[in-house]
């Protein structure tokens, strides 16, 4: 699938007109959380667009706020991007440019368009006015250039307390865009920074630092999500008034939202902090590490993102459309296996006790290259509970019922003759007979079975824990409720069942469990304690 959207058209025009001779984009995450699938839209868009034009994409950590950064987030973000198959042309940090940001700020003061303001945070807010009323100019707005230079340097040197002074730019206190009412570009924060230590007592604000970072790195097209539209005039103001040699352009696109989950770092952090999920890589999480653990492939995520297109409106997409791309990706790539999640005992009464035979099975009927394996068959088997009913409801019923015959996948026809029930009247065992002339591949065609179902041989199958997932957020709870209530308490269920003898419990190994779905072994899985995550259920399609 190829990327095609309004931003690509802009880039094409900019190359054609000679405005740029190379496309440079950047992905600018704050290193304060793990990436989620919404970020994947920004990553895929930036990297794919640059790739289209032989350009480059920079990974720039937006670390202008010293408080939030954590090394594990930086490492995770780098890994996630690599996992998606992209290589940044370089990895930079917003803090790399603190010196330049400062020099540009001094220039703005010298031009008489930046001033040190002594108003408090609350006063600034009050002076700013509202959408309906113009703001008031600060009494400090007309300080002399020399006084401003002195005060700004003293702010830098730590002479003033947090909150006592800011550096603001003079734009227009009556602008209809609130962001243009003399925005602050520097504030005092007396915290050491992960990269610059205690060198700085002042830190630039995002709206000032971001355009400068883009300009310094020669980014041509600075792509961001829709909420920044209102910030674009300020972005352009900063560029126009600092006169960098390279002029970037901000372009906004719609955010990606997924039904049944929340794509916001703050909420994801809360889920982890409240221990509602095990960690950021819990398979229920919409983080890239969570999706990976659940079994999603980078290819499926990329195709999904490309399929959603890119527009100037935010989109809300059902999770199931991601499922579709996973199935597409894995259909020919994975082996198919038999498993029984809710086992029901079947005894083949005409099959000799103690005898075991081996049957040949291809691993994927649609891709012979995946080879074959031996499956055992014996007197004691398990089938899926829901594949048996005593009395079939109608002639469309395609599973096992008393008096009827089904094919056991790749093996024999069996006929159910009798059931054994527990004291509650629930069927706990089916007594059946098999017809040894009906082996798959033998050419037997005298009768047609009612249907085909999977099974495992009780004498050789392996026990496995299956983790089944539902949406993270309960759609029936109000969006205004606290997260602890919105969290779907049934978002994960565990069942213990069986997998066929050939099943390999190696972590991260993926397979299609026949007539069931796509599964991926959990990181904690071992050959002796197989744990399998359901990535995508096929149930809807076979029901």
Active-site residue list:
30, 255, 265
Indicate the DSSP class of residue 261: S
Of the pair 255, 345, the CB lying nearest ligand ATP is at 255
Q: Report the alpha-carbon distance of residue 117 to residue 184 in Å, rounded.
A: 9
Of the pair 162, 230, the CB lying nearest ligand ATP is at 230
Of the pair 38, 517, the CB lying nearest ligand ATP is at 38
Stretch near ligand ATP under the rule CB under 6 A, chosen from 5-13, 259-267, 357-365, 498-506: 259-267
Stretch near ligand ATP under the rule CB under 6 A, chosen from 22-30, 286-294, 362-370, 413-421: 22-30
- Least distance CB 44 / ligand ATP (angstroms): 10
Q: Report the alpha-carbon distance of residue 406 to residue 451 in Å, rounded.
A: 5
Under a CB-based contact definition with an 8 Å cutoff, are residues 31 and 61 in contact?
yes
Beta pairing partners, 494: 467
List Cβ neighbours of 82 (8 Å cut-off, separation of 6 or more).
Answer: none
- Least distance CB 28 / ligand ATP (angstroms): 6
- Give the dihedral sign, CA 63/65/67/68: negative
**Contact between 472 and ligand ATP per CB under 6 A:** no
Of the pair 314, 347, the CB lying nearest ligand ATP is at 314
The string over 253-291, giving b where at least 16 C-beta atoms fall within 10 Å of a residue's C-beta and e elsewhere, is: bbbbbbebbbbebebbebbbeeebbeebbbbbbbbbbbb
Site pattern 339..378 for ligand ATP (x: CB under 6 A): ----------------------------------------
Of the pair 143, 231, the CB lying nearest ligand ATP is at 231
**Contact between 263 and ligand ATP per CB under 6 A:** yes
List Cβ neighbours of 159 (8 Å cut-off, separation of 6 or more).
Answer: none
Stretch near ligand ATP under the rule CB under 6 A, chosen from 179-187, 237-245, 258-266, 364-372: 258-266
Q: Report the alpha-carbon distance of residue 326 to residue 320 in Å, rounded.
A: 10
**Contact between 5 and ligand ATP per CB under 6 A:** no
By rule CB under 6 A, what count of residues binds ligand ATP?
14
Q: Report the alpha-carbon distance of residue 304 to residue 31 in Å, rounded.
A: 25
Q: Report the alpha-carbon distance of residue 174 to residue 182 in Å, rounded.
A: 10
Of the pair 182, 217, the CB lying nearest ligand ATP is at 217
Of the pair 322, 330, the CB lying nearest ligand ATP is at 322
Member of 179, 264, 347, 460 binding ligand ATP (CB under 6 A): 264
Q: Report the alpha-carbon distance of residue 63 to residue 213 in Å, rounded.
A: 11
**Contact between 534 and ligand ATP per CB under 6 A:** no
- Least distance CB 255 / ligand ATP (angstroms): 4
Tokens standing for 398? 């395609």
- Closest by CA to 333, choosing from 358, 370, 301, is 370
Site pattern 218..257 for ligand ATP (x: CB under 6 A): ------xx-----------------------------xx-
**Contact between 265 and ligand ATP per CB under 6 A:** yes
Question: What is the footprint of ligand ATP within residues 30-49 (CB under 6 A)?
Answer: 30, 38-39, 41-42
Q: What are the angstrom distances between the C-alpha of 348 and each of 378, 415, 444?
A: 8, 9, 20
Q: Which residues bind ligand ATP (CB under 6 A)?
A: 28-30, 38-39, 41-42, 224-225, 255-256, 263-265
């Amino acid at each position: 699938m190829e990327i095609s959207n309004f931003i690509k058209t802009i880039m094409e025009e900019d190359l054609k007109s000679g405005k740029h001779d190379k496309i440079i984009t950047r992905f600018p995450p704050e290193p304060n959380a793990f990436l989620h699938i919404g970020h994947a839209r920004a990553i895929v868009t930036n990297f794919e667009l640059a790739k289209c034009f032989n350009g480059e994409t920079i990974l720039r950590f937006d670390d202008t706020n010293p408080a939030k950064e954590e090394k594990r987030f930086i490492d995770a973000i780098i890994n996630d991007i690599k996992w998606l198959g992209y290589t940044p042309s370089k990895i930079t940090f917003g803090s790399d440019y603190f010196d330049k940001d400062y020099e540009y700020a001094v220039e703005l003061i010298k031009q008489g368009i930046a001033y040190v303001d002594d108003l408090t945070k609350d006063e600034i807010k009050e002076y700013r006015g509202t959408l309906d009323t113009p703001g008031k100019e600060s009494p400090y707005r007309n300080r002399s250039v020399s006084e401003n230079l002195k005060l700004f340097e003293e702010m830098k040197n730590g002479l003033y307390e947090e909150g006592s002074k800011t550096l603001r730019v003079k734009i227009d206190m009556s602008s209809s865009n609130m962001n243009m009412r003399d925005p602050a570009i520097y504030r005092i924060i007396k915290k050491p920074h992960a990269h610059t230590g205690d060198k700085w007592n002042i830190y630039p604000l995002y709206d000032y630092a971001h355009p400068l970072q883009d300009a310094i790195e020669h980014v041509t097209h600075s792509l961001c999500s829709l909420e920044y539209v209102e910030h674009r005039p300020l972005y352009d103001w900063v560029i126009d008034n600092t006169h960098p040699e390279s002029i970037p352009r901000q372009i906004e696109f719609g955010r990606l939202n997924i039904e049944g989950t929340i794509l916001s770092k703050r909420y994801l952090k809360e889920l982890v902090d409240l221990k509602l999920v095990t960690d950021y890589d819990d398979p229920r999480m919409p983080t890239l590490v969570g999706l990976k653990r659940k079994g999603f492939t980078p290819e499926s995520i990329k195709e999904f993102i490309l399929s959603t297109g890119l527009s100037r409106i935010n989109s809300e997409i059902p999770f199931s459309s991601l499922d579709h791309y996973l199935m597409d990706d894995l259909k020919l790539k994975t082996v198919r296996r038999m498993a029984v999640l809710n086992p029901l005992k079947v005894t083949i009464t005409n099959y000799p006790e103690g005898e075991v035979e081996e049957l040949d099975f291809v691993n994927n009927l649609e891709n012979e290259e995946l080879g074959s394996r031996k499956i055992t068959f014996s007197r004691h088997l398990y089938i899926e509970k829901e594949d048996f009913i005593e009395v079939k409801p109608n002639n469309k019923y395609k599973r096992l019922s008393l008096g009827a015959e089904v094919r056991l996948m790749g093996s024999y026809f069996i006929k159910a003759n009798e059931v054994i029930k527990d004291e509650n009247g629930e069927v706990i065992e089916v007594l059946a007979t098999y017809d040894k002339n009906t082996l798959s591949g033998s050419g037997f065609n005298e009768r047609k079975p009612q249907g085909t179902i999977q099974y495992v041989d009780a004498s050789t199958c392996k026990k496995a824990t299956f983790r089944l997932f539902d949406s993270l957020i309960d759609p029936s709870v109000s969006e205004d409720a606290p997260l602890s209530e919105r969290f779907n308490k049934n978002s994960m269920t565990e069942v213990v069942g069986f997998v066929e003898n050939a099943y390999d419990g190696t972590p991260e190994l993926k397979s299609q469990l026949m007539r069931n779905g796509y599964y991926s072994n959990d990181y904690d899985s071992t050959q002796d304690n197989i744990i399998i995550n359901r990535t995508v259920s096929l149930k809807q399609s076979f029901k």
